[in-house]
């Protein structure tokens, strides 16, 4: 499945999460997807993204949550990733999802009295933040690449809009 579609599925699932444990499970689903996108881009993405992408693929694992019923029932959505068609669009959407996950986790952490859940949220917030830093770094590299790209004679444009309708 294409990255943008998986990200949209993750955004929908996060929005539908009603319990703290479901939100935490969706956070780790998102982290696993970020890792999978990073792995994909590290292997077959644009050369200028491969270093940051490798770093993204290595950030925080799905520790301690693989026994969650949501993950057991449906498995990790990230395993369905088959392609990253448009790296910029996928990374932009992933950044938005990571931000939403961070906000949701802060809400859970602030509302819980359970110490274990609190620390699991803090770990997930750190992973989402670090992943988003890598994603933003890749987006900056794409912007620099597009800015430095020669004009597209077919469209008479330069920069990020070159090649866009």
What pLDDT is attached to residue 60? Answer: 65
What pLDDT is attached to residue 163? Answer: 44
H/E stretch holding 156 reads none
Write down the domain spans for the chain: 3-161
Tracing tokens 């602030």 back to the chain, one arrives at: 110
d(CA 28, CA 67): 12
* Angle, CA of 140, 103 and 105, to the nearest 5°: 120
What pLDDT is attached to residue 158? Answer: 52
Tracing tokens 């703290």 back to the chain, one arrives at: 20
What pLDDT is attached to residue 149? Answer: 76
pLDDT digits (tens, 9 = 90+) for 63-112: 444 455 555 556 889 999 999 999 999 999 999 999 999 999 999 999 99
d(CA 45, CA 96): 20
Tokens representing residue 55 in the block: 């770093």
pLDDT digits (tens, 9 = 90+) for 140-160: 999 998 887 777 666 555 555
What pLDDT is attached to residue 165? Answer: 39
Helix 50-57 / helix 115-148 crossing angle, nearest 10 deg = 170
């Amino acid at each position: 499945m294409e990255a943008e579609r998986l990200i949209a599925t993750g955004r929908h699932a996060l929005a539908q999460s009603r319990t703290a444990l479901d939100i935490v499970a969706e956070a780790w689903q998102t982290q696993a997807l970020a890792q999978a996108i990073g792995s994909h881009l590290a292997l077959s993405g644009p050369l200028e993204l491969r270093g940051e992408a490798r770093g993204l693929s290595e950030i925080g694992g799905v520790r301690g949550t693989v026994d969650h019923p949501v993950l057991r029932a449906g498995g990790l959505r990230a395993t369905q990733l088959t392609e990253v068609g448009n790296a910029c669009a996928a990374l932009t959407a992933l950044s938005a999802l990571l931000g939403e996950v961070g906000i949701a986790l802060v809400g859970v952490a602030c509302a819980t009295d359970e110490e274990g859940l609190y620390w699991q949220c803090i770990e997930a917030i750190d992973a989402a933040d670090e992943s988003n830093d890598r994603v933003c770094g890749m987006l900056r590299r794409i912007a620099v690449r597009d800015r430095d790209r020669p004009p597209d004679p077919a469209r008479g444009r330069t920069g990020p809009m070159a090649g866009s309708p």
